[in-house]
Structure 1
Amino acid sequence: MYQENFDEEFIGDIDAVVENYVNVGEIYEGEMVGEEELIMQAHSGAQSIPEQVRKFLGHLYRNMTNGNVNDLIYNYENQFVRLSDKYYAKTSWPEPQYVAALVGDDGLFLTLYRELYYRHIYSRLHPSLETRFRSFENYCDLFNYILNSDGPIDLELPSQWLWDIVDEFIYQFQSFCTHRSRVAKRAPEEIALLKENPQVWNTYSVLNVLYSLIQKSNINQQLLVSRQGGDVIEAAGPFGVRPLYKMLGYFSIIGLVRVHCMLGDYTLALQTLENIELGNNRALFTRVTACHVTVYYYVGFAYLMMGRYADAIQTFAHILTFVSRTKQYQQRSLHFDAVNKKADQMYALLAVAISLSPVRVDENIHTHLREAYGDQQHKIQRGGEEAIDVLSELFLFSCPKFIMPNPPNYDDLEAASNIVEPQSYQLKTFLREARLQLVVPTLRSFLKLYTTMGLDRLSTFLDMDPAELRNQLIVYKQRCRQIKCTSGSDLLMGEPVATTDLDFALQEDMIFIAESRVGRRYADWFIRNTNKIQDLIGNLETRQKTFIANASKPKEEEQPVVAAA
């Protein structure tokens, strides 16, 4: 869709992103203020910043200037979050012009600070249209500086921060697309401003940035050489050897997967990951938990929309097992809540996929699904309109936020207001495929009870015409064979495999059924539950000892009193 001729048209300097951009300062600028008065305001504003925040900004600036990445990790992942909760829970951080007086007006630092400043507004407050414009302008300044410098810039940032820059860039793009599409809620002044600046948060601009970061870092060449063997440093080039460019390029690949899914191009989303092996536990995306979860979420969702339910189930089950096992270590993580929310969405998608294509999953995953979505799965398996309603509910809860790639027609607001929402269009696409798949759980629930069965008898059970039932059985046969990925790198390729443990043959009016049973792993079950009982007994013994110790203390204290009497 976008990739075929992108190298020729999109790659290169991204000055075009802001070439005709009307500076938002010119739009919202009030009366001109004298230079001396501006300096006085900046110093006055700097003095109004709490002392603890000023110290933090000073430490952040020094660590960034000196390249102290380990200290930056603490500044970014701990101090920034703690200070945000303490001082700026319901307000924005200090204005960048006030911070400039504290850091010697350092341009690069202020650009990165503005990125944090606007991100905080998006997270805690409601960004205005002016804020959305200014944030886009700041991202353009940042990426122009990184991409268009004569040589690699001297800057090192933690991987978590670099991922958050790319992730937030795409989130604000999605948020702006949703904001501009709701023309009925926009004031005339906002509509006029949106109409005058169609290139702000333009799809072309966002794709341009992501592809340019990938190209500048030579990250695809690095990944290919790393897998096939060769000199990775030579493949990386002068920019790609720097961690800043390498990680930004790598995270941009993951970002492209997200953008293509938001646009509804699932094939291109999976094709983007052709040089990344999901099953590799040492892959770069595993360094950042939020990135790790994100890539599996969008890959699994792409498989679901392509009707490859077996691959979707395998993808979701893998990452949910990882999240479950590492949950206790992630409680103080910067993105703990976001990861848990994404995990809840993936559980819903997994419930949908398993209901449409029943297979066995890990015991812990199965237990959680039964507790959280047991009723919904039962309704889906019964079929009918009730199943469609449940599928719609789960899909809308767990799907990505889709976008329209082009702005609405601001000259015809009535027509723009009546455009079908991308969310509704993708839901309709999903349900069209799901309706055909619903025959699988319904027929399977009857067929698994028999080894041979007459067609007339089954049609009586289902209250269905025998001719129609014959067609349904053919559909079932076809739906029980899916393309399943067989290699770790090429997510699109695969082989047709049977996705159910139940098969049948239809000879005239007789159905011959064969079920391949997989023996349960009783050893794993006993080991897991034995450990649970041992932990429970240990907790009870600890509580008993504590209770006895506390109960004996007052008696020991009363003895001296009695003796004294």
Structure 2
Amino acid sequence: MRGDVFTTMPMIVEGFLRDFKKTIDMSVYVQDANGYRPDAGIRQQKLDLIQACYEYKFNGISERYYKNLLWPHPDQVYPLVEQDDVFMLLYRELYFRHAHARLSSSLTLEQRVESYENYCTLFRRILSDDDDMDQLDLPDQWLWDMVDEFVYQFHDFCRFRSKDIKKRTPAELEGLAANTRVWDTMEVLSLLQRIVSHSEINRILKEDKADPDSGSLHSALSQLGIGHVQVVLGYFALVALSRVHVLCGDYFAALKAVEHLDLVVSVSDYVPVYMRVTSCYITLYYNMGFAYMMMRRYTDAVKTMTQVLLYINRTQHLTRPYQYEQVMKRSEQMYRLIAMCISLCPQRSVEDSVLQYLQDKYADQLARLSKGEEAMFEEFFAYAAPKAVYPAIPDYADAPRDVAQTLVQQQAVLLAEVRQQQRLPLIRSYLKLYTTISTAKLASFAQLDEPTLRAHLMCLKHKTHGLVKIGSAVQGPPLAGQAASSSNVDFVLEKGVVHVADNRAPPTFALYFIKHIHKLQAQVNELTPARRY
């Protein structure tokens, strides 16, 4: 792949780029008796036109002309759009995003560096007070995709610089060593934090939480031009920060980053900003759920991921075609994470539809997970977990060992938890059969001596107790919680006797009948067309 070769540009591409520029430059002001004022209708029309160019026309032309090719080089486009620097920043963002999506295997170090530098310049200009940026206004979808792609390219570069180091030529290693600040973890975090700070989004969100009638966020989002862009970009940067912390294995910081987001909605008709862009909603809750899981807050992990899974099931018919495959993959990843959570910590309240899906699709795997099979946990974790990155600059003299250890560290943490619970499913199964049982009898069933059994009972008690978002904590930030048991079986050990309390909810027959009604309806639908002929 060559990014520096000018090619003949089809007329349709030239026309699209000129129209795209005119749309972005479109004025939203109208003249009346008092002078010029912004018109909300024209502004919405402008955003709709930009969205159409960005989401449909650009992708359509990419599919037709540049499926496995680069778009025209920015230097070739520059004179075509009247040397508009602002438009060129946006074009370069799309240019390098297309390159990463379609030609990632052949990207050069220089192109990765150029993309990083363009993002730095673009974000710096957005945060500036430059006059030529005042009228810039972009739809929420593009602003989310911008920060999401920024984090994706950071993730991709971290894996790129840590991969096959021994096979790299001295020139390649020299190039990597000369660009240590490019996609550096601290630089990426710092840039995202600057976006958050400049937008004052945390202050705005805190004001709304303190006084839901203040309308601080609504007022900030109602700004025109660059003011709107800065606020929305700051909001999405919080989600991006959380994702970066998850990739680096800092789960506390991941949840801390989004502590002020409007995750709990107190007004029925209010739609949080993250729900206006489906991929943002899924990314936020997926990363929060994974962070909860790695912090052993399995109940909160299941509740968090269940919420977004139910949303996906309700709205999947509205998913854009080019996003459908990605959304479905993320959905399967969350189902597998939930499967691991309920295997490590059986729970009282798992959504019936989620549990039914897992039992229908992963019945054998669930049985193996419940037995503590490490190979099954490894398989599920490898598919469902975010791909961890090596956040530091590798020591290219002895990098393979350090990098390999770091990338498997998160899986090792989970497997250590599995090993600690190796005997617990068996003990738990016996406790479900009794209201009282002596430790001697239980030890004989479990083929353990009494001191070892007592240690396992204490382990079971410890593993099923932890922070859970219940009571007043439900309204609190993600890290809030109250100490509680998440198990459906609780017990007390007293003088050699285990007293068991079954906390399971009484069975209901509603799900049984609903399931068979759906099956009957499916059979009727299949037979009805056949009966017509």
TM-score by length of 1: 0.83
Tell me the residue number matched to 2:495.
Answer: 508
CA distance in 1, matches of 2:307, 2:423: 27
Q: Indicate conservation of the 8 Å contact 1:207/1:256, yes or no.
A: yes
Are 1:86 and 2:64 matched, yes or no?
Answer: yes
Distance 2:263 2:512 in 1: 28
The CA deviation string for residues 254-304 of structure 1, in whole angstroms up to 9 with x for no partner, is 000011111111111111111113243621100000000000011111111
Please name the residue that 1:258 is paired with: 243
Say if 2:18 is the partner of 1:54. no
Tell me which moved more, 193-202 or 251-260. Answer: 193-202
Task: Give 1:453 deviation, angstroms.
Answer: 2.4
Preserved contact between residue 426 and residue 446 of structure 2 (Cα < 8 Å): no
- What's the counterpart of residue 5 of structure 1? none
Instruction: Give the letter aligned to residue 178 of structure 2.
Output: E
Is the 1:96–1:110 contact (alpha carbons within 8 Å) kept by the matching residues of 2?
yes
Question: Does the CA-based 8 Å contact 1:240-1:246 persist in structure 2?
Answer: no
- CA change 1:453–1:142 in 2 (3 A) is same
Opposite residue 495 of structure 1, the aligned amino acid is Q
- Superposed CA deviations along residues 230-277 of structure 1, whole A, max 9, x for unmatched, are 462799598998221111000000000011111111111111111113
Say whether the 8 Å CA contact 1:64–1:155 is kept in structure 2: yes
Q: Distance in 2 between matches of 1:366 and 1:356?
A: 15
The residue that corresponds to 1:119 in the other structure is: 97
Deviations 1:337-356 (A, max 9, x none): 22222111111111100100
Which amino acid letter does the alignment assign opposite residue 11 of structure 2?
Answer: E
Which deviations, in whole Å up to 9, do the C-alpha atoms of 1:200-244 show, x marking residues without a partner?
A: 111222112111111111111111112222462799598998221
3-state SS, counterpart of residue 453 of structure 1: strand
Q: Which moved more, 1:451-460 or 1:355-364?
A: 451-460
* Native 8 Å contact 2:275 2:281 kept in 1: yes
Between the aligned partners of 1:98 and 1:544, the Cα distance in structure 2 is 62
Which residue, out of 155, 159, 176, partners 1:174? 155
1:146 aligns with 2:134: no
Provide TM-score, normalisation by structure 2: 0.87
Moved more, 529-538 or 80-89: 529-538
Q: Tell me the C-alpha RMSD between the 2 structures.
A: 2.5
- Alpha-carbon distance in 2 for matches of 1:180, 1:217: 32
Q: Structure 1: which amino acid aligns with 2:503?
A: S
Q: Deviations over 1:22-63 (max 9, x none)?
A: xxxxxx999xxxxxxxxxx97xx4xx2223323322322221
Query: How many residues end up aligned between the 2 structures?
Result: 498
Whether the 8 Å contact between 2:180 and 2:393 is mirrored in structure 1 is yes
**Structure 2 counterparts to residues 303-318 of structure 1, below 5 A:** 303-318=292-307
1:493 and 2:480 are equivalent in the alignment:
yes
Among 399, 420, 425, the residue aligned to 1:416 = 399
Q: 1:551 — aligned with what?
A: none
Cα distance in 2 between the residues matched to 1:460 and 1:370: 32
- Cα drift, residue 336 of structure 1: 2.1
Larger relative CO (CA 8 A, sep 6+): 1 or 2?
A: 1
Q: For the Cα contact (< 8 Å) 1:277–1:283, is it kept in 2?
A: yes
Change (3 A) 1:520 1:101: farther
Which amino acid letter does the alignment assign opposite residue 142 of structure 2?
Answer: W
Are residues 473 and 284 of structure 1, via their aligned partners in 2, closer, same or farther at CA, if it must alter by over 3 Å?
Answer: same
Task: Look up the match of 2:88.
Answer: 110
Q: Deviations over 1:502-539 (max 9, x none)?
A: 11222333322221231344335534643553454245
How big is the shift at 1:166? 0.1
Listed as ranges, the matches of 1:202-351 within 5 Å are 202-229=184-211, 230=214, 232=216, 242-280=227-265, 282-330=271-319, 332-351=320-339
Instruction: State the structure with more CA Rg.
Output: 1
With 115-124 and 277-286 compared, the bigger mean Cα shift is at: 277-286
SS, match of residue 49 in structure 1: coil
Q: Secondary structure at the match of 2:20?
A: helix
Amino acid in the other structure paired with 1:61: K
2:111 to 88, 109, 131: 131
Letter in 2 for 1:522: F
Given candidates 353, 370, 380, the residue that maps to 2:341 is 353
Q: CA deviation digits over 1:46-91, x for unaligned, max 9?
A: xx22233233223222211116110121222222222222222211
- Which secondary structure state, in structure 2, belongs to the residue aligned with residue 290 of structure 1? helix
Aligned partner of residue 442 in structure 1, secondary structure: helix
Q: In structure 2, the residue corresponding to 1:517 is in which secondary structure?
A: coil
Give the counterpart letter for 2:501 in structure 1.
A
Of residues 156-165 and 70-79 in structure 1, the stretch that sits farther from structure 2 once superposed is: 70-79
1:161 aligns with 2:134: no
User: How far apart, in 2, do the equivalents of 1:262 and 1:164 lie?
Assistant: 18
What one-letter code is carried by the residue in structure 2 that aligns with 1:442? L
1:101 aligns with 2:79: yes
User: Secondary structure of the residue that 1:130 maps to in structure 2?
Assistant: helix
- Say whether the 8 Å CA contact 1:481–1:499 is kept in structure 2: yes
User: Contact 2:135/2:226 (CA < 8 Å) preserved in 1?
Assistant: no
Q: 1:423 to 1:442 in 2, by over 3 A?
A: farther
Does the residue aligned with 2:437 lie in a helix, a strand or coil? strand
Give the conservation status (yes or no) of the 8 Å contact 1:217–1:249. Answer: yes
The range that moved more, 373-382 or 226-235, is: 226-235
- % identical aligned pairs: 35
CA distance in 1, matches of 2:126, 2:374: 48
